[in-house]
């Protein structure tokens, strides 16, 4: 059952059926400003006319870069109304990273947020001479720019209004020409290796998944959503664009990236998505503030949280709980859980999702225990997100849910997960070879993930299929090595921010660790441990001892699992700098780029395996303003205790 409509048609439906209902809100000058569906439709109409006047044709691409802003959202709709294809790009990427998508998609038109993005586009003009038209939303600082083809969105709307007077039927005709099978958007995947790939999604695939997800969670037009993740990410497109148009709920744009926390509290979203690191950040900030609270408050908090850990998840899952415990939980709700949910800005959340990375069991159950319906999902850019979702009363930290309507799952002989769904990509843009690699003739998509369906019908993911390796030589010869699985277990500790494990085709597993500067910094302050900065703190013997304890706990945990006991970490070091996307060490979605790190820090890996106790390293770093410098340090390397594998009884 494929979707039979397009995004612009959905917009016009809302504008006719409920013209005065709120569509978008944006906080500006301290006040939430509302745009109704009718006003939005008018704005889209003007932008579409303006873009057509400027020469944007059916099938051409339009780059959109910026934070979530109503007019950028409208620009995507305007392009789609003309049958053109919006290409959202990551706003925090450096100019050079835009070059490939712009050249690849032969982009002539760009709509960007502000001066920062305009500067990047102008910088790219030498490489991409076709980039003739650039419009900006926020004119600040651009008064004296006189480059050809650069204009404000206000000017675009104005020229659109004139065009509309001359051709009043143009817009509706163009919308009617659009077919559900047309490509609706092009998402460039950050990719851990090689050039990014442009994932083509049709109106039908995005709308189908948006509607399937909405039915699964019974979403209505009354939901409130905060649009704070980068628009270039397919998940943001699903939650704040596809489902927004499919359900007709309200999307709220924060005032600026730094006010998201405040805006979250003011809006109180009912439907919320955040990657695990956001939930982790929220919890860390609560815990740090709790440690500063007075003794009676701390006592009450600890008492209530102990109760919540015991009965909270059971209550959320609808399992039987004794009346007395229910009564105590209700008191706890008055004293702690309710106010805490309010502080987090999650009071009204009906459905919250997390995905993208594994989430720690403690972190996951913390949110569920205080009455927030946090669940996990599984999906990717190529599958338009929704593949597996957790039903309300079956949320677990180690699975990613059950296949939802329309989805079929099977395992390849090598253990790779294959998917068939109406939400699959149409293909990679201008890259049939890559498309053929992931999409079989029978319509199965190769996820590249290794996983299995467990006894309860839930999907469980172990690692990327290509990353799963083997230990070679040593006492654990031939054991399975799943780096991400090990790294995730390390990252579940609040003091560890990132970890990179090595071990494939080696005799044992070793790891690089990044400490969490906030958490460890706070820990050090409490112990009167003076430090000068990240590099200094990371090399303190006390910090090494702290991290060594964490690693040992991970080893003890891994030893419980017969399959992965060979992946225990025998040595580690703490890196002298934080892994950073600007230095090419993480992807823009903060995934570790294993290959790049192994190349860059080869000397450290060698030191780990050669049994040295310290190693000098100097690394070039790029600062936010584009300057570069270097960080150097003498890194300590320490050994960790490993445990014998626990053979499963019987």
Q: Residues in the site for another protein, rule: CB under 8 A? A: 28-31, 140-141, 143-146, 255-256, 258-259, 262, 624-625
Which contacts (CB < 8 Å, 24+ apart) does range 528-532 have?
none
Tell me the backbone φ, ψ of residue 257, rounded to 5 degrees: -60, -30
Query: Dihedral angle at the C-alpha atoms of 55, 60, 65, 71, nearest 10 degrees?
Result: 60
Least distance between another protein and beta carbon 30 (Å): 5
The tokens describing 83, both together, are 């049958």
| Integer CA distances (angstroms), 343 to 299, 519, 625, in order | 19, 20, 34
**Helix/strand/coil for 284:** helix
Least distance between another protein and beta carbon 625 (Å): 6
Question: In this structure, are strands 469-470 and 351-354 parallel, antiparallel, or unpaired?
Answer: unpaired
Least distance between another protein and beta carbon 254 (Å): 9
Least distance between another protein and beta carbon 25 (Å): 15
Nearest in space to 180 (alpha carbons), one of 157, 162, 205: 205
- 375 has which bridge partners? 353
| Contact between residue 510 and residue 501 where contact means Cβ atoms under 8 Å apart | yes
Neighbours of 261 (CB within 10 A): 15
Least distance between another protein and beta carbon 119 (Å): 11
Q: Distance between terminal CA atoms of the chain?
A: 48
Nearer to another protein, 138 or 208 (CB): 138
Nearest in space to 231 (alpha carbons), one of 208, 253, 211, 200: 253
Say how many CA atoms lie within 13 Å of 226 toward its Cβ: 27
Least distance between another protein and beta carbon 137 (Å): 14
Least distance between another protein and beta carbon 265 (Å): 12
Least distance between another protein and beta carbon 102 (Å): 24
Least distance between another protein and beta carbon 141 (Å): 6
| Contact between residue 380 and residue 447 where contact means Cβ atoms under 8 Å apart | yes
Nearest in space to 537 (alpha carbons), one of 529, 547, 548, 549: 529
The tokens describing 154, both together, are 């206000």
Nearest in space to 183 (alpha carbons), one of 48, 397, 7: 7
| Integer CA distances (angstroms), 509 to 9, 78, 566, in order | 55, 52, 8
């Amino acid at each position: 059952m494929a979707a039979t409509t397009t995004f612009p048609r959905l917009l016009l439906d809302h504008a006719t059926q409920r013209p005065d209902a709120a569509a978008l809100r944006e906080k500006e000058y301290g006040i939430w400003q509302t745009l109704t569906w009718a006003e939005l439709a008018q704005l889209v109409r003007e932008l579409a006319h303006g873009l057509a006047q400027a020469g944007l044709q059916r099938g051409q691409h339009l780059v959109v870069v910026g934070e979530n802003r109503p007019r950028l959202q409208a620009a995507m709709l305007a392009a789609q109304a003309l049958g053109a294809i919006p290409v959202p790009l990551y706003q925090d990427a450096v100019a050079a990273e835009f070059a490939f998508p712009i050249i690849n998609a032969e982009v002539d038109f760009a709509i960007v947020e502000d001066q920062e993005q305009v500067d990047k586009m102008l910088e790219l003009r030498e490489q991409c001479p076709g980039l003739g038209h650039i419009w900006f939303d926020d004119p600040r600082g651009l008064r004296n720019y006189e480059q050809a083809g650069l204009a404000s969105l206000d000017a675009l709307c104005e020229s659109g209004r004139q065009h509309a007077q001359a051709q009043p039927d143009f817009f509706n005709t163009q919308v009617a020409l659009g077919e559900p099978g047309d490509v609706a958007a092009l998402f460039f995947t950050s990719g851990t290796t090689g050039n990014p790939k442009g994932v083509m999604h049709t109106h039908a695939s995005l709308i189908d998944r948006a509607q399937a997800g909405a039915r699964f969670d019974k979403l209505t037009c009354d939901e409130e959503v905060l649009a704070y993740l980068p628009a270039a990410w397919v998940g943001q497109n699903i939650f704040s664009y596809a489902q927004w148009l499919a359900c007709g709920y309200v999307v709220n744009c924060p005032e600026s990236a730094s006010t998201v926390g405040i805006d979250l509290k003011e809006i109180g979203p009912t439907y919320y998505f955040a990657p695990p690191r956001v939930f982790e950040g929220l919890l860390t900030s609560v815990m740090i503030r709790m440690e500063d609270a007075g003794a009676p408050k701390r006592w009450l908090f600890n008492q209530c949280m102990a109760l919540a850990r015991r009965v909270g998840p059971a209550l959320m899952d609808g399992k039987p709980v004794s009346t007395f415990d229910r009564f105590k939980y209700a008191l706890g709700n008055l004293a702690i859980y309710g106010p805490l949910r309010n502080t987090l800005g999650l009071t009204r959340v009906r459905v919250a999702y997390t995905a993208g990375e594994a989430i720690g069991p403690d972190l996951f159950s913390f949110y569920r225990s205080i009455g927030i319906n946090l669940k996990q999902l599984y999906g990717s850019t190529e599958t338009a997100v929704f593949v597996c979702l957790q039903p309300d009363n079956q949320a677990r930290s180690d699975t990613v849910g059950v296949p939802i309507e329309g989805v079929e799952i099977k395992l390849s002989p090598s253990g790779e997960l294959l998917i068939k769904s109406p939400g699959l990509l149409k293909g990679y843009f201008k890259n049939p070879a890559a498309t053929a690699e992931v999409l079989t003739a029978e319509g199965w998509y190769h996820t590249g993930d290794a996983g299995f369906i467990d006894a309860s019908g839930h999907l469980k993911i172990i690692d990327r299929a290509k990353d799963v390796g083997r230990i070679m030589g040593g006492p654990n010869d031939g054991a399975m090595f799943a780096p991400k699985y090990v790294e995730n277990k390390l990252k579940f500790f609040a003091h560890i921010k990132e970890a990179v494990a090595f071990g494939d085709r080696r005799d044992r597993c070793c790891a690089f660790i990044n400490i969490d500067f906030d958490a460890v910094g706070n820990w050090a302050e409490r112990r009167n441990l003076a430090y000068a900065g990240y590099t200094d703190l990371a090399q303190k013997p006390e910090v090494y001892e702290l991290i060594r304890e964490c690693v040992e706990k991970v080893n003890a945990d891994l030893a419980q699992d017969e399959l992965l006991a060979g992946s225990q970490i025998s040595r580690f070091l703490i890196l002298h700098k934080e892994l950073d996307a600007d230095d090419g060490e993480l992807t823009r979605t903060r995934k570790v780029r294993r290959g790049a790190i192994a190349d860059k820090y080869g000397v450290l890996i060698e030191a780990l395996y050669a049994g040295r106790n310290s190693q000098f390293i100097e690394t070039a770093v790029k600062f936010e303003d584009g300057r570069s410098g270097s960080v150097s340090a003498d890194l300590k390397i320490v050994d960790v205790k490993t445990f014998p594998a626990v053979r499963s009884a019987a």
